[in-house]
Structure 1
C-alpha cells in the first residue's frame, strides 16, 4: 500500500502532467485529445502512432511533449529504408576496431533512451526490423558482436507517419503501437486565423511545466498499476468486445489486455484511484486497424459510456452530408448556391451548432469526456464557414463573427 508521501507525490505528478497537457493544447490547435492520449500512453508505458499528412505538426508536438520529461534521455530518429541497425543502436567503435576489438558505441542511441520519437516509423529497413521490434516490445537489443542482450530503459515511444504500413514487415511494427491517433490540417477557421497570426506576431511566453524522470518512472511502474479496475469496467470491456465482433472488428487478446493499463493511466492522470466509464473513451484510439474503422469503434465505445458524444456523432453525419452537397454544387450559379444556403444549409448548420453547444455544456457538467463533441464542433464551424463564404459570399471577418 502506498504511503501518504508516495500518494502525495503521485498526485503532484498527475497534476503536473495535466498542466503539460493544458499548455501544449493551448499551443497546438485542435490537438487536445491527441496530447492527452499521448500522455496517457506514456504513463501506461505503451507506444503510440501519430498518423497524418505532412505539415500537421506531428514532429513538433512529439518533441514538445517528450521534452517536458526533465532528466530523461530523449532519443529521436528519422527512419528510411536504408537505415542500418547500427544507426539506431550504436556505431562500431573505430578506435577499438583498430586494436582488434569489435564493439559498439551506445551513447546517445536507442539503447540509452528513456523516451523515444521515431519519425517515418514504417520506413524501417528490413535489416533493422527485428531489432526495432525487440526494442519496442521487449526493450532489449542484441549487440552485433553477440553476447547477452542489452536491456534498454525505454518507457514509451511516440512514432509518426504520413501513411499506413504497406507490407508485412511494416505491419509487424504497426501491431506494436497500441495507441493510434489521426491528425489532419486545421478545420476550425478561427484556429487557422490564429495560426496565420502567429507567423507575424511575437508569441506570448507561456508556462513550461516539466516532470522529473524519477517521478514519471514511479508513476509508470507503481502508481498507475495501483489504480483499481472495478468489475463494472471488466463487464463493459467484455460487452464492447462482443459489439465490435458483431461489426467484424476483432482485436487480439494481447491488445485488450494492454488496454487495461491505458484505462488505469487515464484515471491516474485525472487523479482518480479507480477506473471509471469515462476512461473507456481512450479505447477509440486502440481498437481499429484502418482509419475507416475508427468511426465505428468510436460509436460503439461512446454509445456505451457517453450519450452526449454519441448524439454529437449523429449530428456529424448530417454535417458531412451538407458538405458533400456543397461539393456537388460546385460550378452552379451563385443564385442557386445562395438559395440552397439560405433555405437549407445555413439553418441546419446553425441548429447543429446550438445543439452541439448544449451537448458540450451537459457533458462538462456531468464530468464526461468532451473530446468527440469538440471535434464535431470544429467540423460544424468549418462547414458553416464554407457555406457562408462559397454560397453567400460573406467575407472572412464576417464569417468569424457569425460562427
Structure 2
C-alpha cells in the first residue's frame, strides 16, 4: 500500500499549527521552538546554553508529542561511563570471545536525544558521540557500522566551553549546527504567566509521521533562493570577514540548508533575505563575542525590520518594568509611550512577526489602562 505524503502547503500548515501549540505553553520560547523545528527539518542538531530551569528539556518532550518515537535523556558528568550512554557490554558476547554492546534503551536506538551538560562528558564518550551526531552511525562491536535512527539531538549546557578546553571540544561544538544562548523569562506578561498559570506543558494536537518529516526535509532542500537572498548571504559573509569572523566552509554550506528549512517552516515558497535571520545561530565559532556581532551584521543586511522589532520590544519591556501602575501620571506616560511604539509598528512592512508584535503591544496597553482604572 502506497503511503500518501501531504503536499508542501499542507505540510507547512501542520508545522505552523505545531509552532503555535508549542508557543502557547512554552513562555517566551518562540525563537527556540523555531530553531528546534528547523533543526528537525534540516536533520541537524541544536545546542542551548542557559542557567538551569529554562525549559530546554520540556521543549524536546513537547515536540515528541507531535512526532512520536523514543527519547534518550542523560545528565553527563566527568564520571559518566560509556555504558550509560551506549549500552553495557554483553556478558554472553564476552563468553563467546566477542565484544558487543547491548544498546536497548540507549542513545544508539533513540529517535531523539537530550544531552544535558554535554561538555562535561569524558573523551571516551565524546569520540563515539561525534560519529553518531555527524554520520548517524554506531559500531556496537560487530565490526561494522550501522545506522542509528536519531532524528534530532538537543544538547544543553549551563555555560559555553571554557577557553582552555575549547580546542578539545571544538569537534563536538561544531557538530551542533544551531547554537543559542537562552535567558530566563524577561517580560512582565511572561512572568505573570509563569507565576499564575499552573500548567505550562503545551497541548499538542498535531501528529507528524516519519513520512511527513522526510517530505519536509525534501521540500526544504528543494526550496529555491531568491536572487536578493543569495546576494544578502554573500554580502553577510563578506562583512563578517571584515569583522574578523570567518566560519568554516562546512558551516557556511550548512547555513544554506538551515535557511531553506527555516523558510519552509515559515510557510515561504522561496528563501528571502529575512529568512537569513536564522543564520545568526550558525555563522560563528567563538561564543564569547561573535554571536552578537553576527546577529548585528545579519539584521542590518537581511532583516532590518526584525532588528527594528527587537529594539521596539526592548523599549516596551523597559517602559513596563519602570512603571508603577498605582501612580496615574506614570501610567498615563507609559500608555502614551506604548501608543507611540504601536504607531511606529504600523509604519513597518506588515508580516506575521510585525502583527504579533503589534498585538502584544496593544495587549500591554490594554492591561495598563485596566490597571489604572482599578487604582482609581
Length-normalised TM-score, structure 1: 0.77
Q: Do the aligned partners of residues 278 and 308 (structure 1) sit closer, same or farther apart at CA in structure 2, a change above 3 Å counting? A: closer
Q: Which residue of 2 aligns with 1:183?
A: 182
Q: Which residue of 2 aligns with 1:13?
A: 11
Structure 2 distance, partners of 1:148, 1:59, is 33
Structure 2 distance, partners of 1:371, 1:103, is 56
SS at match of 2:115: strand
Q: Do the aligned partners of residues 352 and 91 (structure 1) sit closer, same or farther apart at CA in structure 2, a change above 3 Å counting? A: farther
Q: 2:84 aligns with which of 82, 87, 100?
A: 87
Q: Do the aligned partners of residues 146 and 191 (structure 1) sit closer, same or farther apart at CA in structure 2, a change above 3 Å counting? A: same
- What's the offset of the Cα at 1:83? 2.2
SS at match of 1:160: strand
Q: Which residue of 2 aligns with 1:253?
A: 249
Matched length = 361
Structure 2 distance, partners of 1:64, 1:204, is 7
Q: Do the aligned partners of residues 90 and 101 (structure 1) sit closer, same or farther apart at CA in structure 2, a change above 3 Å counting? A: same
Q: Which residue of 1 aligns with 2:342?
A: 357
Q: 1:218 aligns with which of 202, 209, 215?
A: 215
Q: Which residue of 1 aligns with 2:299?
A: 302
Structure 1 distance, partners of 2:253, 2:73, is 28
Structure 2 distance, partners of 1:248, 1:204, is 42
Q: Which residue of 1 aligns with 2:155?
A: 159
Q: Which residue of 1 aligns with 2:64?
A: 66
Q: Do the aligned partners of residues 129 and 112 (structure 1) sit closer, same or farther apart at CA in structure 2, a change above 3 Å counting? A: same
Length-normalised TM-score, structure 2: 0.82
Correspondences of 1:235-254 after superposition (within 5 Å): 235-254=231-250
- What's the offset of the Cα at 1:119? 1.5
- What's the offset of the Cα at 1:361? 4.6
Q: 2:144 aligns with which of 135, 144, 148?
A: 148
Q: Do the aligned partners of residues 80 and 359 (structure 1) sit closer, same or farther apart at CA in structure 2, a change above 3 Å counting? A: farther
- What's the offset of the Cα at 1:238? 0.7
- What's the offset of the Cα at 1:315? 5.3
Structure 2 distance, partners of 1:74, 1:356, is 44
Correspondences of 1:331-350 after superposition (within 5 Å): none
Q: Do the aligned partners of residues 358 and 125 (structure 1) sit closer, same or farther apart at CA in structure 2, a change above 3 Å counting? A: farther
Q: Which residue of 2 aligns with 1:134?
A: 131
SS at match of 2:105: coil
Q: 2:350 aligns with which of 341, 366, 387?
A: 366
Give 5+ residue unaligned stretches, structure 2: none
- What's the offset of the Cα at 1:96? 3.4
Q: 1:45 aligns with which of 43, 60, 63?
A: 43
SS at match of 1:76: strand
1:51-78 CA deviation, whole Å, 9 max, x = no partner?
A: 11111111112221234213x2322222
Q: Do the aligned partners of residues 98 and 113 (structure 1) sit closer, same or farther apart at CA in structure 2, a change above 3 Å counting? A: same
Structure 1 distance, partners of 2:310, 2:177, is 24
Structure 1 distance, partners of 2:374, 2:21, is 26
Q: Do the aligned partners of residues 313 and 271 (structure 1) sit closer, same or farther apart at CA in structure 2, a change above 3 Å counting? A: closer
Q: Do the aligned partners of residues 124 and 358 (structure 1) sit closer, same or farther apart at CA in structure 2, a change above 3 Å counting? A: farther
Q: Which residue of 1 aligns with 2:282?
A: 286
Structure 2 distance, partners of 1:369, 1:249, is 29
Q: Which residue of 2 aligns with 1:311?
A: 308
Structure 1 distance, partners of 2:137, 2:60, is 23
- What's the offset of the Cα at 1:259? 0.8
1:302-351 CA deviation, whole Å, 9 max, x = no partner?
A: 2223333333455578789999xx9xxxxxxxxxx99xx999x9899666
Q: Which residue of 1 aligns with 2:269?
A: 273
Q: Do the aligned partners of residues 96 and 264 (structure 1) sit closer, same or farther apart at CA in structure 2, a change above 3 Å counting? A: same
CA RMSD of aligned residues (A): 3.7
- What's the offset of the Cα at 1:205? 8.6
Q: Which residue of 1 aligns with 2:194?
A: 195
Q: Do the aligned partners of residues 83 and 96 (structure 1) sit closer, same or farther apart at CA in structure 2, a change above 3 Å counting? A: same
Q: Do the aligned partners of residues 315 and 69 (structure 1) sit closer, same or farther apart at CA in structure 2, a change above 3 Å counting? A: closer
Q: Which residue of 2 aligns with 1:392?
A: none
- What's the offset of the Cα at 1:97? 3.0
- What's the offset of the Cα at 1:34? 1.2
Is the deviation greater in 260-269 or in 204-213?
204-213
Q: Do the aligned partners of residues 102 and 368 (structure 1) sit closer, same or farther apart at CA in structure 2, a change above 3 Å counting? A: same
Aligned 8 A contact 1:309 1:372 in 2: no
Q: Do the aligned partners of residues 147 and 206 (structure 1) sit closer, same or farther apart at CA in structure 2, a change above 3 Å counting? A: closer
Structure 1 distance, partners of 2:56, 2:374, is 30
